[in-house]
Amino acid sequence: MSAIRIVSTGRALPGKVMTNDDMSKIVDTSDEWISSRTGIKQRYFCDGEMNWQLAVESARKAIEKGDIDINEIGMVIVATFSPDYAFPSVACLVQKELGLRNDIMAFDLNAACTGFLYALNVAEGILNSSGEKYALVIGSEQISTRLNMEDRNTCVLFGDGAGAAVIEKNVTANYATVMGSDGNTTALICPGQAMENQYIDMDGKKVFKFAVSTVGNVINELLEKTDKTIQDIDYVICHQANERIIKTIIKQFDCETDKFYMNMSQYGNTSAASIPIAIDEMYEKGLLAKGKTIIMVGFGAGFTWGGMLLEC
């Protein structure tokens, strides 16, 4: 079966840490209010940094960790809903800054918080049709520019950051994907920057209901496609939106809690960057040794969703 393997990863965070106490000085909230409802304790906000700079830093780290020859990178795909420019794309800026070949595709992809998984799926298809060795896939967001700092229901949830992965073709039976969307424009939306209201607007209850039902269905579908049970999976890495969402999903499965990795307490919701940031963190901790089987699941505005089961 045609599949992909993650060769190496990297992550980048802005220099400015915003704790819940810091947020309480800006908007009517508190550490207790935020952490009890979301599990988030802090997040990072850009303070002079740009989206493309985070993307470049995370990609450079992934390339260095994998000792990758940049001439063997055959494409750059950046998942983001918060690019610095309408064009050129973040991916084109990454290509230039890293000195990658100029005869490769470089483009952005927007599937909101599911973006990294969409990008991996697209990269797999291009790798298998192009003959290229590696793809550079990045999730990078500067969400702080899209936040209404007077809306405590949204501004405390999100953070900036980037995560990158170098991937290559692989042949394995432990591989499956599930992707979808339904075009929802009411529960979670961020109007264009030229519009009067350019900030994120969210119906938290609708998003919660969508997430807990969809993620469980995606996991079950991936297990069915690969003839596995949840016990065969070493880790499930969900989009890191809210601790309550993931804990509710855990209850749907007969498994230990730590099978579902969580790190939103340190980063908040970084949208398309959340899964690659988590994966890089897990590699650093030695959790994702070769041969481990993982499931990655994303959900986001659109409503988009996606899942991928693969072997490290």
Reported as a single tens digit per residue, the pLDDT across 65-97 is 999 999 999 999 999 999 999 999 999 999 999
Q: Is 20 a catalytic residue?
A: no
35 half-sphere exposure, CB direction, 13 A CA radius: 12
Task: Determine the residue type at 289.
Answer: A
Q: Which two tokens stand for residue 259?
A: 């099978």
- The 10 Å Cβ neighbour count of residue 292 is 15
What is the secondary structure of 120-146 as a DSSP string?
Answer: HHHHHHHHHHH--SEEEEEEEE-GGGG
Residue 95 vs residues 99, 111, 157: alpha-carbon distances, Å: 6, 21, 31
Task: Determine the residue type at 180.
Answer: G
Q: What percent of the chain has a predicted confidence (pLDDT) above 70?
A: 96
Q: Which of 46, 92, 113, 155 is catalytic?
A: 113
Residue 165 vs residues 110, 197, 199, 201, 288: alpha-carbon distances, Å: 17, 34, 29, 30, 14
Output the pLDDT for position 171.
Answer: 80
Output the pLDDT for position 208.
Answer: 87
Output the pLDDT for position 190.
Answer: 66
Q: Each residue of 165-204: pLDDT tens digit?
A: 999 998 877 899 999 987 776 666 667 665 567 787 778 7
Q: Mean per-residue pLDDT for 231-252?
A: 96
Helix 51-65 × helix 274-284 angle, to 10°: 30
**CA dihedral of 80, 86, 89, 94, whole degrees rounded to 10:** -80
Output the pLDDT for position 196.
Answer: 62
d(CA 188, CA 208): 11
301: pLDDT confidence band, cut at 50, 70 and 90?
Answer: confident
Q: Is 255 a catalytic residue?
A: no
Q: Which of 110, 121, 242, 269 is catalytic?
A: 269
- Which residue segments constitute the domains of the chain, with CATH numbers given? 2-171 (3.40.47.10), 176-311 (3.40.47.10)
pTM for this prediction: 0.95
Q: Which of 92, 110, 238, 239 is catalytic?
A: 239
Burial of 104-127, coded b for 16+ CB within 10 Å and e otherwise, reads: bbbbbbbbbbbbbbbbbbbbbeeb
What is the secondary structure of 224-268 as a DSSP string?
Answer: HHTT--GGG-SEEEE--S-HHHHHHHHTTSSS-GGGEE--HHHH-
Q: Each residue of 101-157: pLDDT tens digit?
A: 999 999 999 999 999 999 999 999 999 999 899 999 999 999 999 999 999 999 999
Residue among 207, 225, 208 at smallest CA distance from 308: 225
Q: Is 170 a catalytic residue?
A: no
